[in-house]
A and B are shown apart, each in its own frame.
Chain A
Amino acid sequence: MKFEGESQLEGSKDAVWDALNDPRVIEKCTPGCQSLSIVAPDSYELVTKIGIASISGTYKGSMRLGDRLGREQYAMFAEGAGPIGTMSVAGTVALRENGAATSVNYSFEVQVGGAMTGMAQRALLPIAKLLTKQFFKSVDKLLAGASLPAAEEGGT
């Protein structure tokens, strides 16, 4: 399943790059993130709690960043498992200056397993969109200098 989109962040390309590659930002901005531990540079383990109807529950997983092309593009690999199935994500995130702001393009191949499969086509993409939007909104707030409260349940 393809999952693609674009977000505008209020910040220079460099600032956005630094934020998106910073595990502390990832921890603070990932919806529902309960904990992020650094296993190795660019390699993390996460626990997140999602609160959206049929996929609500605690998900454990890992995330790895890499394959960087300058400060323009990087690859992200993530996989996780929760009460209703498994998910793995692989793809790229690309940054582009857009005036004073920065456009972030993401393109992921998503594989789901277990009960999640049955709802994937209809329900999962909208949920993924919502969570991604929530993530970038938080990053945007951080860039604007806000200090974020501890992560709430994703999707609430």
Chain B
Amino acid sequence: MLHAAMLRSPHAHARIKSIDVARARAMPGVHAVLTGEDAKQYWGPLPPTIDIGMKVPTVYGLATEKVYYMGEPVVAVAADSRYLAEDALELIDVEYEPLPAVTDTEAALAPGAPLLYPDWGDNVQCEWGMAVGPVDEVFAQAAHVFDYRIPQHRYSGVSLEGRAALAQFDAYSRKLTLHCSTQSPNLVRTLVAQTFNFPEHDVQVIAPDIGGGYGNKLQADAEVIPCLLSLATGRPVKWTESRQENLLSGMQCRDYVWYLRVAVSRDGILQGLDAKVYGNVGCDGTCHAAGAGKFLVACGYVPGPYKWQAFKVSTKVAVSNKAPSGAYRGYGKDIANFPLEVAMNRMADALGISPVEFRRRNFIGRDEFPYQQISGPIYDSGDYALCLSKLLDLVDYDGVKRRQARQNDGTGSRYLGIGLASMLEPSGGAVPNCIFNSYEVATVRLMPEGGILVLTGHQDIGQGTETTLCQVVADELGCTPDDVRIIYGDTNAVPYGMGPWSSRGATFNVSCVAEAARTLKRNLIEVAAHLWQCEATGVDIAGGAIAEAGGERTLTLKALGNQLHLWPGAFGIVPKHVTNPFEATHYWTSPIASWAPDELGRIRLYSTHPSGSSAIVVEVDAETGKIEVKDIAIVDDCGVIINPMIVEGQLHGGYVQGIGGALLEEFHYDERGQLWNTDLTSYLHPLATDVPAIKCDHVISPSPYTALGTKGMGEGSAIMPVAVMVNAVEDALRPFGVRVSELPLTPERVIALLRTSPRWREMYGAPA
């Protein structure tokens, strides 16, 4: 087996003038040294993963004429060991002509900005907008109009397990086998086949139980490089991403700025929302990864869980000289949630209403579902006011407010604050013209010995898919989870399926598995009824056995499996009207998603709409700027809960990730496009000691549109905390009247913020 290493660009934007690989090629132990130009004999440009009216650049797995971001792979090496491969990189001479770089979103969109793709004429990868209702009239007549600029910085799902790929091209069978750490083996198979113009059915992708898939592992980007090296050498080639490579290029996320205008009536009723979001997808959000689409999702969901009379939204998505942008636990729902939930608290303040009461006045009511939001989606079910009420009890909101009044009297330096926000978590996306498509297929199979195999294109990424699907199938087929085995992660073993993203496991995957199990169950009951010459209506399966009503005759699944497959075999015992008693395959898609625009041009991309509320209690030290998280409470409504422990695990993990984004995590690009923090001592994550025990409670509003009433819930917990934290810090620092304008809230930023307060400068004797 050979090992791959990649020479990466030190420049954020530069023309490649020459590459000399002669010395590297001559090094003993080196088997291949390929530049972007060399590689063109094996592959074409990276195929688009999303193209909804977007500009799609022609880019390759290795840079060709230009480099667009610091860390972009320029030359690939395969050698006998990783050590030799890394040494060979040092023998490669690349001559660059540095070009002006642009990193800031609004600077990239400004006239005269350096252009990444000059033939575009600008840096706009994607542009979209819509308006519904009498927007101008509502704003002209509103008692209050509020304006906000709310930016969020760039961070991502930086997981312990980075990317890894082992590509094996077998020249004899002309088969390409790729083991890799991915969320969607089937999509990777298609993308690899498209990249190399290689027969897709000759590509096999195998992904065992992986970790670190928070949306970051949804593409074939660097993974194509080991494939390239294997095709060139005819030998297996392995690449394991280093931490530095992961931080430089492992699909980044967030990075945008909102401008919100909100019209509110005299009595605190939301009337109009006029919102613009400028997104930054780094060098690309279409081919390297599908980051550009998240801003369209954000546009559709910025109205949140509230009612509006008029709505206008637009987005411009910029390319810049930063790493490519993909998905990360939110994919636009986070972008939608953050600005509005911060604005809700600030508006409540300005109106002299509590943030709780302001939300209550504007929530969609529990009796109004299914509710078509002004932006188009159909919200399936929910009880937003109940989530908020339960949250107030869970976090003892009134108690915290009383303690706050005592503690923040100006005598101490630690200021207590509580922030809360509501959340809408559209889950189970069905997006046209991209890899985030709209169906899932599962097969449930009865084996001769009575065990059940479930074949799914879904992928276990540590989210408990194997556990929940075993539970679902065991419940449907009346057996135990131990009788069920979930097969996933091998494209040659499972139906073509999409994998876990958009929290679609509990919508698409659970639904198709449940429906397939139901079909299999009906067929098995028909077979038993036929054997017993009785009516099928009285037959059921429980405790691993099929039983006649009244319990006279029973047949274990093992006995039935044996009869069907072996003694005597299907021919003798299956009634004519049962076409396949061995297995059932179900294709499931959402009944409420729709790509046919309605009369206002709106489409509906999500199949369920989980919701929730959460609160954080903080103490902010006005002397040091340190924020201490004292309490966290979450109330989640994901419909029917399959496994409470897994649901709470998702809530805990996601929430801590969100706190990381609010307080610590940030890609530090300077204005030249140089990334300064490429290790985990400078890209900081929250530690277990940074968060208190998290309290959870639930509201259960079953979805009428999924097989079991379940809804997805993998992202909501990660999308709430940034808004909640900003609200908590602004609440704590109320005596200083400051508004957070930059994230993450490091102690330095908190002090810089406090420095803008005359009162703080007076108290701490600091100059203006």
Expressed in whole angstroms, the minimum distance between the Cβ of B596 and any Cβ of chain A is 49
- Known contacts A57-B90, A113-B70, A114-B70; is-contact A121 B10 (Cβ 8 Å): no
A30-38, A79-87, A97-105: which lies at the B interface?
Answer: A79-87
Bound-state Cα–Cα, A83 to B94, Å: 10
Bound-state Cα–Cα, A77 to B10, Å: 20
In the complex, chain B residues whose CB is within 8 Å of the CB of A139: none
In the complex, chain A residues whose CB is within 8 Å of the CB of B90: 57-58, 83
| Max chain B Cβ within 10 angstroms of own Cβ: one of A57, A113, A122 | A113
- Known contacts A81-B10, A118-B682; is-contact A113 B89 (Cβ 8 Å): no
**CB pair B675 A117 closer than 8 Å:** yes
Bound-state Cα–Cα, A116 to B672, Å: 14
Would you list which residues of chain B between 243 and 293 have a CB under 8 Å from chain A? 244, 247
- Known contacts A57-B90, A118-B244; is-contact A113 B676 (Cβ 8 Å): no
In the complex, chain A residues whose CB is within 8 Å of the CB of B672: 111, 113
**CB pair A114 B11 closer than 8 Å:** yes
**CB pair A83 B89 closer than 8 Å:** yes
**CB pair A86 B676 closer than 8 Å:** no
Expressed in whole angstroms, the minimum distance between the Cβ of B78 and any Cβ of chain A is 19
Would you list which residues of chain B between 645 and 681 have a CB under 8 Å from chain A? 672, 674-679, 681
Bound-state Cα–Cα, A11 to B247, Å: 49
Would you list which residues of chain A between 98 and 156 have a CB under 8 Å from chain B? 111-118, 120-122
**CB pair A117 B682 closer than 8 Å:** no
In the complex, chain A residues whose CB is within 8 Å of the CB of B247: 118
Bound-state Cα–Cα, A83 to B89, Å: 8
Expressed in whole angstroms, the minimum distance between the Cβ of B70 and any Cβ of chain A is 7
- Known contacts A118-B677, A118-B679, A120-B676; is-contact A86 B11 (Cβ 8 Å): yes
**CB pair B674 A113 closer than 8 Å:** yes
Bound-state Cα–Cα, A113 to B677, Å: 12
Would you list which residues of chain B between 683 and 737 have a CB under 8 Å from chain A? none
**CB pair B89 A115 closer than 8 Å:** no
The answer, among B70, B244, B676, for a CB contact under 8 Å with A121, is B676
- Known contacts A83-B89, A83-B90, A121-B682; is-contact A115 B10 (Cβ 8 Å): yes
**CB pair B676 A118 closer than 8 Å:** yes
Expressed in whole angstroms, the minimum distance between the Cβ of B298 and any Cβ of chain A is 31
Chain B, Cβ-Cβ closest to A60: B93
**CB pair A118 B675 closer than 8 Å:** yes
**CB pair A114 B9 closer than 8 Å:** yes
The answer, among A58, A113, A120, A121, for a CB contact under 8 Å with B11, is A113
Would you list which residues of chain B between 221 and 257 have a CB under 8 Å from chain A? 244, 247
- Known contacts A57-B90, A111-B672; is-contact A118 B678 (Cβ 8 Å): yes
In the complex, chain B residues whose CB is within 8 Å of the CB of A121: 676, 682
**CB pair B674 A115 closer than 8 Å:** no
Is B163 among interface residues, defined by CB-CB distance under 8 A? no
Bound-state Cα–Cα, A86 to B682, Å: 20
Is B8 among interface residues, defined by CB-CB distance under 8 A? yes
**CB pair B244 A115 closer than 8 Å:** yes
Would you list which residues of chain A between 16 and 30 have a CB under 8 Å from chain B? none
Bound-state Cα–Cα, A114 to B244, Å: 11
In the complex, chain B residues whose CB is within 8 Å of the CB of A122: 681-682
Bound-state Cα–Cα, A22 to B420, Å: 67
In the complex, chain B residues whose CB is within 8 Å of the CB of A114: 8-11, 70, 674
Total of A-B residue pairs, C-beta within 8 Å:
44
- Known contacts A85-B10, A86-B10; is-contact A117 B674 (Cβ 8 Å): yes
Would you list which residues of chain B between 1 and 50 have a CB under 8 Å from chain A? 8-11
Expressed in whole angstroms, the minimum distance between the Cβ of B413 and any Cβ of chain A is 29
**CB pair A117 B676 closer than 8 Å:** yes
Bound-state Cα–Cα, A120 to B682, Å: 11
Bound-state Cα–Cα, A16 to B688, Å: 57
Chain B, Cβ-Cβ closest to A83: B90
In the complex, chain A residues whose CB is within 8 Å of the CB of B70: 113-114, 117
**CB pair B10 A113 closer than 8 Å:** yes
In the complex, chain A residues whose CB is within 8 Å of the CB of B677: 118
Q: 1/0 per residue B60-101: CB within 8 Å of A? A: 000000000010000000000000000001100000000000
Bound-state Cα–Cα, A115 to B8, Å: 9
Chain B, Cβ-Cβ closest to A84: B10
In the complex, chain B residues whose CB is within 8 Å of the CB of A118: 244, 247, 675-679, 682
In the complex, chain B residues whose CB is within 8 Å of the CB of A83: 89-90
In the complex, chain A residues whose CB is within 8 Å of the CB of B674: 112-114, 117
Chain B, Cβ-Cβ closest to A120: B676
Bound-state Cα–Cα, A83 to B10, Å: 10
Bound-state Cα–Cα, A81 to B10, Å: 9
Bound-state Cα–Cα, A2 to B284, Å: 33
Expressed in whole angstroms, the minimum distance between the Cβ of B101 and any Cβ of chain A is 10
Expressed in whole angstroms, the minimum distance between the Cβ of A154 and any Cβ of chain B is 16
Expressed in whole angstroms, the minimum distance between the Cβ of A114 and any Cβ of chain B is 2
Chain B, Cβ-Cβ closest to A111: B672
Expressed in whole angstroms, the minimum distance between the Cβ of A153 and any Cβ of chain B is 15
In the complex, chain A residues whose CB is within 8 Å of the CB of B89: 83
Bound-state Cα–Cα, A113 to B71, Å: 10
In the complex, chain B residues whose CB is within 8 Å of the CB of A81: 10
Expressed in whole angstroms, the minimum distance between the Cβ of A56 and any Cβ of chain B is 9
Chain A, Cβ-Cβ closest to B674: A117
- Known contacts A57-B90, A83-B89, A83-B90; is-contact A115 B678 (Cβ 8 Å): yes
Expressed in whole angstroms, the minimum distance between the Cβ of A127 and any Cβ of chain B is 17
Expressed in whole angstroms, the minimum distance between the Cβ of B731 and any Cβ of chain A is 34
Chain A, Cβ-Cβ closest to B91: A83
- Known contacts A57-B90, A83-B89, A111-B672; is-contact A117 B678 (Cβ 8 Å): yes
Bound-state Cα–Cα, A112 to B8, Å: 15
In the complex, chain A residues whose CB is within 8 Å of the CB of B9: 114
Expressed in whole angstroms, the minimum distance between the Cβ of A110 and any Cβ of chain B is 12
Chain A, Cβ-Cβ closest to B678: A118
Bound-state Cα–Cα, A57 to B91, Å: 10
| Max chain A Cβ within 10 angstroms of own Cβ: one of B10, B674, B681 | B10
Expressed in whole angstroms, the minimum distance between the Cβ of A59 and any Cβ of chain B is 11
Expressed in whole angstroms, the minimum distance between the Cβ of A31 and any Cβ of chain B is 19
Bound-state Cα–Cα, A145 to B609, Å: 82
Bound-state Cα–Cα, A94 to B89, Å: 39
In the complex, chain B residues whose CB is within 8 Å of the CB of A117: 70, 674-676, 678
In the complex, chain A residues whose CB is within 8 Å of the CB of B11: 86, 113-114
Expressed in whole angstroms, the minimum distance between the Cβ of A45 and any Cβ of chain B is 14
Expressed in whole angstroms, the minimum distance between the Cβ of B278 and any Cβ of chain A is 26
Chain A, Cβ-Cβ closest to B92: A83
Expressed in whole angstroms, the minimum distance between the Cβ of A117 and any Cβ of chain B is 5
Chain A, Cβ-Cβ closest to B87: A83
Bound-state Cα–Cα, A86 to B674, Å: 11
In the complex, chain B residues whose CB is within 8 Å of the CB of A113: 10-11, 70, 672, 674
Would you list which residues of chain B between 120 and 144 have a CB under 8 Å from chain A? none
Expressed in whole angstroms, the minimum distance between the Cβ of B252 and any Cβ of chain A is 15
Expressed in whole angstroms, the minimum distance between the Cβ of A26 and any Cβ of chain B is 24
Chain A, Cβ-Cβ closest to B675: A117
Bound-state Cα–Cα, A114 to B9, Å: 7
Bound-state Cα–Cα, A111 to B247, Å: 21
In the complex, chain A residues whose CB is within 8 Å of the CB of B676: 117-118, 120-121
Show the binding face of A for B, using Cβ within 8 Å: 57-58, 81, 83, 85-86, 111-118, 120-122
17 new A-B contacts at CB < 8 Å, known A81-B10, A83-B89, A114-B9: A85-B10, A86-B11, A111-B672, A112-B674, A113-B10, A113-B672, A113-B674, A114-B674, A115-B678, A116-B10, A117-B70, A117-B675, A117-B678, A118-B247, A118-B676, A121-B682, A122-B681
23 residue pairs of the A-B complex, CB under 8 angstroms, read A58-B90, A81-B10, A83-B89, A83-B90, A112-B674, A113-B11, A114-B8, A114-B9, A114-B10, A114-B11, A114-B70, A114-B674, A115-B244, A115-B678, A116-B10, A117-B70, A118-B247, A118-B675, A118-B676, A118-B677, A118-B678, A118-B679, A121-B676
Q: Top 9 A-B pairs ranked by shortest CB distance?
A: A114-B10, A118-B678, A83-B90, A117-B674, A85-B10, A113-B10, A86-B10, A117-B676, A113-B674
